[in-house]
Amino acid sequence: MSKDPIFKFKKFEIDQSHCLMKVGTDGILLGAWCDVQGAKKVLDIGTGTGLVALMITQRTKNTMIMAVEVDQESSHQAKMNFDTSMWHDRLDLYKGTIQDFAHQGTSQFDHIVCNPPFFSGGTLSTNQDKNNVRHTIKLSHQDLLKSVRTLISTNGKFSLILPLIEGLRFIELAETYGLNCERKTEVKSRIKGNVERLLLQFSKVQSKGLKEDELIIYKSDSKDYTNDFIELTKDFYLKM
């Protein structure tokens, strides 16, 4: 994924020059995949550049989006990206931790999305700010689930993307917080490859059955996107 300062989509631009984590496939997948139909209020936890929040705003008509971001430079960048978009009047940003935001208890949301930190071990980067973004140092999955449980409406949905192993563990952990996995998409780069990511949707309501499917990004042995990936992201990428 490009690390150019400006990433251009069909209907908005992302200035990512001061953000630690740049525009990536994970965020694009989540923003296009999450089921926000009928949602009046959406919360984006750890918005970063503001990518997922902007994608959801493009996909909806009257939905109000609140984004939360703890990193100073990223929150400033996201606010700028919001303000220069055509949907600036539907986007708001809270600079701080999701724990503090949830503690205020000011609102509940019909859909919550998060592209969360996922490394719980391994070698840390020498860049402490990047560690905070990519590792579960300042936002453990337990804290994330506590916040979601507080902020999600009775019939609300919670969507996120995680690597395979972390995703499977998260499903089990979420059950202890009263959140049931009702939708799961396994993401592979190619059909013969391993599952690399899980797109997951949870709700407080007991699921009647888990809806499962698969998404393959590239055609076999080529850099051409599959028809399924094109269909999912065609409203955003310039070349689709």
What is the chain's pLDDT, residue by residue, as a tens digit (240 residues)?
A: 555 789 999 999 999 998 878 899 999 999 999 999 999 999 999 999 999 999 999 999 999 999 999 999 999 999 999 999 999 999 999 999 999 999 987 789 999 999 986 543 333 233 334 434 433 456 899 999 999 999 999 999 999 999 999 999 999 999 999 999 999 999 999 999 999 999 999 999 887 889 999 999 999 888 899 999 999 999 999 776
CA–CA distance, 89 with 42 (Å, rounded to integer): 14
Q: Are strands 197-203 and 180-188 parallel, antiparallel or unpaired?
A: antiparallel
CA–CA distance, 28 with 32 (Å, rounded to integer): 6
pLDDT computed for residue 123 by the predictor: 33
b/e map 55-69, b = 16+ CB within 10 Å: bbbbbbeebbbbbbb
Domains of the chain: 6-233 (3.40.50.150)
Q: What is the pTM of this model?
A: 0.90
